[in-house]
Amino acid sequence: MDASPLYFDYAATTPVDDVVIEAMLGCLGRQGLFGNPASKGHVFGSDAHHAVEQARQQVAELVGTQPQQLIWTSGATESNNLALLGVAHRRGKGHLITSCLEHRAVLDTAAQLEAEGFAVTYLTPNEHGLITPEAVAQAWRDDTCLVSLMLVNNELGTLTDIARIGTQVRARGALFHVDAAQATGKVAIDLARLDVDLMSFSAHKTYGPKGIGALYVGLHAEGALQAQIHGGGHEQGLRSGTLATHQIVGMGTAFALAGQAMVRENERLTLLRERFLAGVQSLPGTRLNGCGRQRIPHTLNLTFATPLDTAGLQRQLAFSTTSACSSAKAAPSHVLLGLGLTADQAARSYRFSLGRYTTEQDVDRAIALIHAHQAKPAPFWA
């Protein structure tokens, strides 16, 4: 049997696609597009600027918007911060709605706004682990100015009905922000048809490089954001700083590839997900967390009756005992606690995420490893 470790942690980060690496290398070194994209007065800068704008077009095409509505950032964390802080600081006061299932980039930013005097409501999921339009409606206040919810949950893989929620938010006159870091290349997104005002993206969840992302700013959100990074007025005055051409080109290339492969990749991974789930659920007491139907095929979160021997298993199989955003804290997952799991159940829960390079053989080997590394209960005399 192959002894090389298996990678089942695609939700934490994806490897950069070889085609993306090649495109990025073309932007480095004196033979590449090394010029400053803002220096459009000479050929070095104008060539880099053209590459940046081509990448902006590629990202826009995947998510159904116009390229001028995209602002480059360092990743989804910065995009989330710019969306929440930008709206709140422009308004100066008001009420925000989010959920207890969000990424820390949203929850910690919401907590900062609470410390500044803003009111925040944290929605809890229904019995299927979903945030519903009804929950948003019940939390509404006259001064609600922003709703922020993720499209795909990073720990569970569940989907939020942003179409229905967006219609409701738009009708009430507030802005709707969606964290789509885990969604690009997995879920069809058409911002031209969605009542979404702000949407956050990240390259490294979609086989692009780390350190680059974007924020979609829709027509209803124009003029509603206050910049959080100052110094030159780049990106329509919303995000200053010299643009990293190689990373931006990498993101554009990655998003273009994702759009080409999404349908067949989802079909392939659905089969692998079912194979993996059947194999691990043969262990008595294994339970899937989150809705079994309203989800992407890539990500599964499972609670086991007895804990896995993670120290031994992770030497052969890369997976998450908690989400990457929470791993710095030795605490139970806030998402799983939000679902109603106890701290003990959360400690016996693990995220397995499949991706572009996962094979049927990988799935079968992973199942065997999980079975072999299930911790044995202590003897009754211990």
Query: What number of other Cβ atoms are within 10 A of residue 6's Cβ?
Result: 18
Percentage of the chain beyond pLDDT 90 is 93
Query: What number of other Cβ atoms are within 10 A of residue 331's Cβ?
Result: 11
Note the pLDDT of residue 232.
Answer: 87
Note the pLDDT of residue 291.
Answer: 95
User: 129 and 161 in contact (C-beta within 8 Å)?
Assistant: no
Phi and psi angles of residue 232, each rounded to the nearest 5 degrees, phi first: 130, -20
What are the start-end ranges of the E strands in 19-116? 70-73, 95-99
pLDDT over threshold 70, residue 380: no
Question: Left (φ > 0), alpha (ψ -120 to 50) or beta: where does 211 sit?
Answer: left
Query: What number of other Cβ atoms are within 10 A of residue 362's Cβ?
Result: 18
Note the pLDDT of residue 329.
Answer: 57
User: 319 and 9 in contact (C-beta within 8 Å)?
Assistant: yes
pLDDT in tens, 153-162: 999 999 999 9
DSSP string, 313-372: HTTTEE-BSS-TTTTTS-S--HHHHHTT--HHHHHTEEEEE--TT--HHHHHHHHHHHHH
Note the pLDDT of residue 3.
Answer: 76
pLDDT over threshold 70, residue 378: no
Averaged pLDDT for residues 188-204: 98
Which residues are known catalytic residues?
Answer: 325
More confident residue, 255 or 380: 255
Superfamily of domain 6-15+262-372: Aspartate Aminotransferase, domain 1 (3.90.1150.10)
pTM of the model: 0.94
Strand partners, 99: 123
* Confidence tier at 324 by pLDDT (50, 70, 90): very low
d(CA 340, CA 332): 12
Range with the lowest mean pLDDT among 35-49, 291-305, 313-327?
A: 313-327
d(CA 111, CA 159): 24
Closest residue by Cα to residue 71 from 290, 217, 206, 180: 217
pLDDT in tens, 330-359: 688 999 999 999 999 999 999 999 999 999
- For the chain, the average pLDDT equals 94
Q: What are the helix (H) ranges across 64-161? A: 76-91, 104-115, 133-139
Note the pLDDT of residue 332.
Answer: 86
Note the pLDDT of residue 323.
Answer: 44
pLDDT in tens, 67-113: 999 999 999 999 999 999 999 999 999 999 999 999 999 999 999 99
pLDDT over threshold 90, residue 61: yes
User: 169 and 175 in contact (C-beta within 8 Å)?
Assistant: yes
Note the pLDDT of residue 374.
Answer: 84
pLDDT over threshold 50, residue 24: yes
